[in-house]
Structure formats: C-alpha cells, structure tokens
Amino acid sequence: MYNTPLRTKLPRASDRLWLGRSGLRVSPVCIGITESAETVIAAYEEGINFFFVTADLHWPLYAGVRNGLAKLLIGNKARREEIVVGVVSYLDNPLFSALQFNEVVSEVPGLDYVDLMIAGAIANESSFYSRFDSMTQARMVRKHGATALGATFHQRFLALVADQYDLLDISYIRYNSAHPGAQKDLFPLIRSNRSGLIFNFKSVMSRLNQATFDSLNLPQSSWLPDACDHYRFVLSRPEIDGILCSPLQPSEVKRLARALEDSPLTQQEQDYMIWLASLVHAPVLT
C-alpha cells in the first residue's frame, strides 16, 4: 500500500539518539505513566534513560515515575547526567507554565533541573509559536536548566510546521493501527535531514481485548496483537524515532525490551492490524 521501505531492525531499548541539537542523548523508549517506582528502576536497568513527567490534572498519574526518579537519584543508582527528564506543561500562559516546570523539580529529590521543556497538546499554529517563544526565552536564561525543547501534537500539520522550520528537538505525535493517517499526510513530508526526533504516543490505543476479538468471529488464521505488537507496529516505520510508553509494572518493561530485539512487522502484518482496528473503530480514524 505504501512504498516507504520498512526498517530492517527495530531500535533497541538501550540505543541512544541525539536529542535534536541539545547535545543530549536519549533512549528510543521514553517512560511516562507507571504504577510503581520499581518500573522506573527496571527501565533504567534495561538501558532506558528517558523519562516524561507532567504536572496539572495529570499529577497523580505520574507519582510512579516521580518516585522512581527519586529512587534512581537519591539511591545513587544513576547519576543525574545519565538520565534525561522531559517535563510537559499544558498551559498557554508562560508564567504558569514555568510554575509547573518548577513544581516537578521541587517534588523530585535530586532532580535539580529539567532537561527538556515540552509544550503539551498544541491547539493551533499561533499557540505553538507563542509557547515556543516562551520556552526559547526560558532556555536562553537557563531557567529550569533545560537545554532541549519539545511539543506534543494531536494535529499532524503542526508537527510538520515544527519539522519544516526545524524548531524543536523532539515532537510527539499520535500514530497507531486505528489512526494510520500519518502514513499519508505526515511521513512522506518529513525532511530527510531533520535534526529533531519524532516520538509516538498512544501507541496501544487501538489494542483489542480477548473478548472483543472473540466477538468478531474471525477466520482461524487471525491473531490478536498484544501490546508489544502495537509498539512494533509503530517502530516499524523509519520516520518514528521512538515511543512514549506507560508500562505499569517492571515485567512490562522487560517484555517491551525483549520485543524490540525482534524484527519489525512486515507490511502484511501492519495492514492486518489496520484492518483489525477498522472492524472495531469503523471507519478507521485518521
């Protein structure tokens, strides 16, 4: 269906990517929401050094990653310079955004500073430029210590703006088997010489449970993709550099790390997963 060559191998959890022009290097797996601090420890032991935290209404959901980072740093399991921590703010007002970055720093012992400031859920182009300017100014005076800038996008054309003007060190987009539209309106347009990374979120959004799968009465040859298949679906695309994921327990981190040692999905397997999602999310969303 699509002519872009697939990856010959998947990125490994312990790989390192240059985070734009920041001088920082990050793993292709970024850990967000989790239930336990032990999951963060397990991720670090698997070679993952990239972590995602937010404040605002999501604050309770990120207690696990905050506690895990504190255990890494205070317990001397990791030196501060060995990990990269991105903090996202969903507020448009630069003053209040700054308060959220500071809140995370003050609540995580040993964190001391933010590596990556992220503008969350950019709504439109004017908002994007406004928030980019405020983060740039904060970086220039070394507020929060950040050297890298990023944003999360629900509208792919805004990610293209960031790419075309080379504005960000990392952009987070949504792509999964129920939302495959990036194959047509984003991936073919991304510059081959871009410096910023592209990470995915909501990778397992279209995952089906066993009961729903059984209710479809599919041919015997059909198979139910698990969470790791959905991560492999995303990372089989060479335009995607990494994933933001939310493993709840250490065992899920270990399964993900082993899955990334497997091969990329074939085009036939990817098409099957899109077709399967379309049976539940009909028509397939863009």
The strand ranges marked E within 181-265 are: 197-201, 242-245
Residue of 27, 56, 40 lying closest to 120 (CA atoms): 56
Q: Is 87 within 8 Å of 115 (Cβ atoms)?
A: no
Q: Which CATH architecture has domain 17-280?
A: Alpha-Beta Barrel (3.20)
Q: Is 144 within 8 Å of 117 (Cβ atoms)?
A: yes
pTM over 0.85: yes
Q: Which residues of 207-246 are buried (b: 16+ CB within 10 A; e: fewer)?
A: bbeeeebeeeeeeeeeeebebbbbbbbbbbbebbbbbbbb
**Domain segments of the chain as ranges:** 17-280
User: How many whole angstroms separate alpha carbon 251 and alpha carbon 279?
Assistant: 30
User: How many whole angstroms separate alpha carbon 145 and alpha carbon 191?
Assistant: 29
In the predicted structure, residue 270 carries a pLDDT above the cut 50: yes
Bridge pairing between strands 25-26 and 17-18? antiparallel
Q: Which two tokens stand for residue 108?
A: 């995580």
pLDDT per position as a tens digit, 41-71:
999 999 999 999 997 778 899 999 999 999 9
In the predicted structure, residue 120 carries a pLDDT above the cut 70: yes
In the predicted structure, residue 148 carries a pLDDT above the cut 50: yes
pLDDT per position as a tens digit, 174-212:
999 999 999 999 999 998 889 999 999 999 988 899 999
